[in-house]
């Protein structure tokens, strides 16, 4: 998938301010940023679950944002999402088997009920649920189990790209590891790409090949996971990674009001200088595959030389 | 010093069809004045049930036995009128989702002031002023404007600040915080933990912090208690428990926590198997089927919670400390 200059507005509020990135087959791209940074909006916009103002989302030879309904539906079979709230994303009046089998019903109508049932049972087993679960209803399951049902439903068509929007955030650590390993197995078997959104930086670090950091709808830094966590360059990334809270609420309110020029982070940045107020820093490659949007990135490369 | 909260042999059961589901079994714990006790356990381990029972918030279907003494008086047998005097004033509780704890159609200020009108007998006018001061104390920006807003107009982090503020209005002896940061982002999470630390130090209040996440508890707790399948399996000072866990369950759970340092892993460590289902009873240790150290004895004989100098552990073969 190739995303170019994606912009989403909610009324006068700009949620995404022109985001661009690529996602390769078999790759996991981690997406981090605090609440309100646009993580979920991005997930929904690339799946056309909400409307983007401008930009392109290239996937399997079509622009998902402008292609016709038929072309979109054809590609949606390869594009799946696991939502944050597992219970809310399952229809309470459908049995688990019906929910997990519904994508098959839509995309493979030729399948007999029996064959469909077999695939559903196999998928449920794969995510660690008993086959008998198929005849039960979502409310009979715990949060962790519902999350597995959501994953089973997303995986049943063997998608090429899976978006995980805080898919493991509500789970216990013991289950979290199981679910993530399951996703990694499924990914390896099918060369599936994953956009992995999470506020848990430790989890993101382990599962992602590359990580993208966004703040108020703009990319601050994008780099291979090891490089980003070992040597973050953007001041925002560093604030996010340090144990210290990244900003006081007062500062946050101020920055939420649309800033039309300059760096979106400059109100909170301890290293901001005059140029940061005036012009928006472009995303520039500072090392192989390591992109940073900061006027002072050449200085932040060597943190000791930097004075606030 | 006498503990502010003392729970003894608390059990919570639910009669279901023929069987009785034991959600909490023989849990005893004590919280000293000013102390922070962290409660850790997987979902379904009974950690919330213990404190819901202590507060008298469980449905009538639950059968509760044992003893819960708060500031010297028994809560389990107390009539609703005296419970209501204590709850929300000297003994308060906040929950994971602040939206469902706030009344959607009342302004924030009204909900805060009401606490003082009811419990402290203040006039609405004075209570409103105090509510504003409290919002300032829990670092809600533009607190005067917030007083006149409705819960849905606030972000999740702000709502949790409001809940914390509300719980502090009567200077409680003990605040029970049940997963207070689980619904919030990492950065907001850190701010809320910071806030809890500050307010606790400010008024010398005791705090019970319930979480499935060790990292949340680690930053605040003096003591940590680990629950599994409705029982206490280990309790020790935070430093000891995190660096030298003695119960294999604690040790395995700690291994599952992903880290920000060390090599990047291809697969995350997991805890094999599943916790017992409600109603599933075993004669031995409930953790035995998943335990790497389990022997025959563990499957046949339940290990008691054994006291040693500063810690308790329920295991036949604990790790050496």
CA–CA dist A157, B289 (Å, integer): 35
Task: Give the per-residue pLDDT at A33.
Answer: 85
User: A200, B258: Cβ pair inside 8 Å?
Assistant: yes
Q: For the CA atoms of B176, B182, B185, B187, what is the dihedral angle to 10 degrees?
A: 40
B105 close contact with A: CB closer than 8 A: no
Helix (H) or strand (E) holding A151: helix A143-155
- When the pLDDT of each residue in chain B is averaged and rounded to a whole number, the result is 91
For chain B, how many residues are written? 321
The better pLDDT of the pair B105, B266 is held by: B105
CA B252 to chain A, closest CA, distance in angstroms equals 9
Helix (H) or strand (E) holding A99: helix A96-107
Which range is least confidently modeled, A173-182, A203-212, B55-64, B135-144?
A173-182
Task: Give the per-residue pLDDT at A304.
Answer: 47
Task: Give the per-residue pLDDT at A249.
Answer: 35
Residue corresponding to tokens 């381990």? B45
Task: Give the per-residue pLDDT at A297.
Answer: 86
B188 close contact with A: CB closer than 8 A: yes
- Which of B141, B256, B260 minimises the CB distance to A173? B256
Gap between the terminal Cα atoms of chain A: 39
Q: Are B90 and B71 in contact (CB under 8 A)?
A: yes
**A chain contacts of residue B42, beta-carbon cutoff 8 Å:** 172, 174-175
**B chain contacts of residue A240, beta-carbon cutoff 8 Å:** 186-187
Give the list of residues 6+ apart from residue B76 with CB closer than 8 angstroms, or none: B53, B56, B64, B66, B67, B68
User: A177, B44: Cβ pair inside 8 Å?
Assistant: no
Task: Give the per-residue pLDDT at A148.
Answer: 87
User: B268, A202: Cβ pair inside 8 Å?
Assistant: no
A95 close contact with B: CB closer than 8 A: no
A224 close contact with B: CB closer than 8 A: no
CA–CA dist B140, B235 (Å, integer): 35
CA–CA dist A156, A190 (Å, integer): 12
CA–CA dist A277, A272 (Å, integer): 8
**B chain contacts of residue A142, beta-carbon cutoff 8 Å:** 43-44
* A102 Cα distance to chain centroid: 24
CA–CA dist A62, A44 (Å, integer): 17
CA B73 to chain A, closest CA, distance in angstroms equals 35
The better pLDDT of the pair B257, B150 is held by: B150
Mean pLDDT of B82-101: 89
- Which of B43, B156, B186 minimises the CB distance to A201? B186
**A chain contacts of residue B258, beta-carbon cutoff 8 Å:** 177, 200, 202-203, 205-206
- The angle formed by the CA atoms of residues B10, B241 and B303, to the nearest 5 degrees, is 50
CA A207 to chain B, closest CA, distance in angstroms equals 7
CA A194 to chain B, closest CA, distance in angstroms equals 15
- Which of A142, A175, A245 minimises the CB distance to B187? A245
User: B186, A143: Cβ pair inside 8 Å?
Assistant: no
For chain A, how many residues are written? 308
User: B257, A173: Cβ pair inside 8 Å?
Assistant: yes
Name the β-bridge partners of B175.
B92, B207
CA–CA dist B313, A144 (Å, integer): 28
Task: Give the per-residue pLDDT at A182.
Answer: 85
Mutate to test the interface with B, among A133, A173, A213, A244 (most CBs of B within 10 A): A173
User: B187, A247: Cβ pair inside 8 Å?
Assistant: yes
- Closest to B36 measured CA to CA, from B4, B64, B67: B4
- As a whole-number percent, the residues of chain B with pLDDT over 70 amount to 99
CA–CA dist A294, B114 (Å, integer): 49
Task: Print pLDDT tens along chain A (308 aa).
Answer: 999 999 999 888 888 989 999 999 999 999 998 777 888 899 999 999 999 999 999 999 999 999 999 999 999 999 999 988 777 889 999 999 999 999 999 999 999 999 999 999 999 988 888 888 999 999 888 777 888 899 999 999 999 999 999 888 777 888 888 889 989 988 988 899 999 998 888 899 999 999 999 998 999 999 999 999 998 999 999 888 874 443 333 334 344 454 568 898 888 888 888 899 889 999 999 999 999 999 988 876 665 445 44
Complex ipTM: 0.74
User: B270, A177: Cβ pair inside 8 Å?
Assistant: yes
- Which of B140, B258, B271 minimises the CB distance to A206? B258
Residue B130 banded pLDDT, cuts 50, 70, 90: very high
Q: What is the pLDDT of residues B265-318, one digit of tens each?
A: 888 888 888 788 777 778 899 999 999 999 999 999 999 999 887 899 999 999
Burial of A146 (0-12, 13-18, 19+ CB in 10 A): buried
CA B131 to chain A, closest CA, distance in angstroms equals 19
Which range is least confidently modeled, A95-99, A203-207, B90-94, B200-204?
B200-204
Name the β-bridge partners of B174.
B91, B206
Q: How far is CA B272 from CA A178, B252, B268, B287, in A?
A: 9, 9, 12, 11
Q: Are A4 and A56 in contact (CB under 8 A)?
A: yes
- Which of A172, A203, A243 minimises the CB distance to B258? A203
CA–CA dist B232, B58 (Å, integer): 20
Say whether pLDDT at B111 is over 90.
Answer: yes
Mutate to test the interface with A, among B258, B266, B287 (most CBs of A within 10 A): B258
Task: Give the per-residue pLDDT at A308.
Answer: 45
Question: What are the tokens at B169?
Answer: 């209005």
Q: How far is CA B278 from CA A147, A244, B11, B46, B281, in A?
A: 20, 40, 14, 10, 8
Gap between the terminal Cα atoms of chain B: 27
- Which of B142, B191, B265 minimises the CB distance to A206? B265
- Which of A181, A202, A203 minimises the CB distance to B267? A181
Say whether pLDDT at B108 is over 50.
Answer: yes
CA A115 to chain B, closest CA, distance in angstroms equals 30
Ranges of beta strands (E only) in A166-283 are 193-197, 210-215, 218-224
Q: What is the DSSP string of B131-148?
A: HHHHHHHTT-TTHHHHHT
Instruction: Provide the chain B residues 133-162 that lie in CB contact (below 8 A) with chain A.
Output: 139-142, 155-158
CA–CA dist A297, B4 (Å, integer): 53
* C-beta atoms surrounding A306 within 10 Å: 13
Q: Which pTM was predicted?
A: 0.82
Buried b (16+ CB within 10 A) or exposed e, A90-120: beeeebbbebbbbbbeeeeeeeeeeebbebb
- Closest to B154 measured CA to CA, from B83, B93, B102, B207: B102
**A chain contacts of residue B271, beta-carbon cutoff 8 Å:** 174, 177
Task: Give the CA radius of gyration of chain B.
Answer: 21
- Closest to B239 measured CA to CA, from B220, B255, B257: B220
B267 close contact with A: CB closer than 8 A: yes
Mean pLDDT of B176-204: 84
Helix (H) or strand (E) holding B83: helix B80-86
- Which of B142, B212, B264 minimises the CB distance to A206? B264
Chain A residue with CA closest to B45: the answer is: A172
Question: What are the tokens at A261?
Answer: 């020029």
Instruction: Provide the chain A residues 36-65 that lie in CB contact (below 8 A) with chain B.
Output: 36
Task: Give the per-residue pLDDT at A76.
Answer: 92
């Amino acid at each position: 998938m190739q995303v170019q200059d994606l912009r989403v507005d909610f009324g006068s509020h700009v949620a995404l301010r022109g985001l661009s990135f690529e996602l390769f087959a078999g790759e996991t791209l981690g997406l981090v940023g605090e609440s309100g940074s646009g993580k979920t909006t991005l997930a929904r916009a690339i799946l056309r679950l909400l409307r983007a103002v401008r930009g392109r989302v290239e996937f399997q030879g079509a622009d998902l944002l402008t292609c016709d309904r038929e072309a979109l539906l054809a590609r949606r079979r390869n594009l799946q999402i696991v939502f944050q709230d597992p219970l809310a994303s399952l229809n309470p009046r459908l049995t688990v088997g019906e929910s997990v089998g519904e994508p098959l019903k839509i995309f493979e109508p030729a399948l007999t009920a029996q064959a469909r049932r077999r695939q559903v049972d196999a998928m449920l087993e794969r995510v660690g649920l008993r086959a008998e679960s198929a005849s039960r209803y979502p409310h009979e399951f715990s949060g962790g189990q519902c999350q597995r049902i959501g994953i089973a439903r997303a995986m049943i068509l063997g998608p090429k790209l899976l978006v995980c929007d805080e898919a493991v955030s509500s789970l216990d650590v013991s289950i979290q590891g199981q679910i993530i390993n399951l996703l990694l197995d499924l990914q390896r078997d099918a060369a599936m790409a994953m956009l992995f959104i999470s506020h848990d930086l430790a989890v993101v670090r382990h599962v992602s090949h590359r990580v993208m950091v966004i703040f108020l709808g703009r990319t601050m830094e994008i780099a291979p996971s090891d490089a980003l966590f070992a040597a973050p360059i953007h001041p925002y990334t560093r604030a996010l990674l340090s144990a210290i809270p990244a900003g006081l609420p007062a500062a946050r309110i101020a920055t939420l009001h649309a800033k039309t020029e300059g760096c979106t982070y400059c109100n909170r940045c301890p290293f901001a200088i005059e140029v940061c107020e005036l012009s928006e820093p472009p995303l520039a490659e500072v090392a192989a595959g390591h992109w940073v949007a900061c006027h002072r990135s050449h200085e932040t490369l060597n943190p000791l030389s930097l004075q606030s | 010093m006498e503990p502010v909260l003392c729970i003894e042999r608390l059990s919570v059961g639910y009669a279901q069809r023929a069987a009785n589901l034991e959600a909490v079994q023989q849990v005893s714990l004590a919280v000293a004045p000013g102390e922070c006790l962290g409660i850790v356990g997987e979902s379904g381990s009974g950690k919330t049930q213990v404190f819901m029972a202590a507060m008298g918030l469980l449905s009538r279907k639950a059968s509760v036995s044992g003893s819960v003494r708060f500031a010297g008086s028994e809560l389990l047998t107390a009539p609703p009128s005296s419970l209501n005097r204590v709850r929300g004033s000297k003994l308060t509780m906040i929950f994971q989702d602040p939206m469902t704890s706030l009344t959607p159609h009342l302004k924030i200020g009204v909900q805060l002031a009401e606490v003082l009108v009811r419990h402290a007998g203040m006039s609405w006018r004075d209570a409103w002023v105090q509510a504003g001061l409290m919002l300032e104390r829990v670092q809600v920006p533009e607190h005067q404007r917030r007083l006149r807003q409705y819960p849905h107009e606030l972000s999740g982090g702000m709502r949790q600040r409001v809940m914390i503020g509300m719980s502090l209005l009567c200077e409680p002896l003990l605040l029970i915080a049940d997963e207070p940061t689980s619904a919030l982002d990492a950065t907001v999470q850190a701010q809320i933990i910071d806030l809890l630390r500050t307010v606790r130090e400010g008024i010398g209040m005791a705090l019970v912090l319930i979480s499935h996440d060790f990292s949340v508890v680690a930053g605040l707790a003096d003591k940590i208690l680990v629950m599994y399948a409705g029982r206490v399996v280990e309790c020790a000072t935070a430093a000891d428990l995190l660096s030298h866990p003695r119960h294999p369950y604690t040790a395995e759970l700690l291994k599952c926590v992903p880290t920000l340092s060390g090599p990047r892993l291809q697969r995350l460590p997991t805890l094999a198997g599943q916790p017992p289902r409600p109603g599933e009873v075993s004669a031995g240790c409930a953790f035995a089927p998943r335990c790497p150290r389990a022997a025959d004895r563990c499957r046949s004989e339940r290990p008691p919670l054994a006291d040693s100098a500063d810690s308790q552990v329920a295991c036949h073969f604990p790790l050496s400390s």
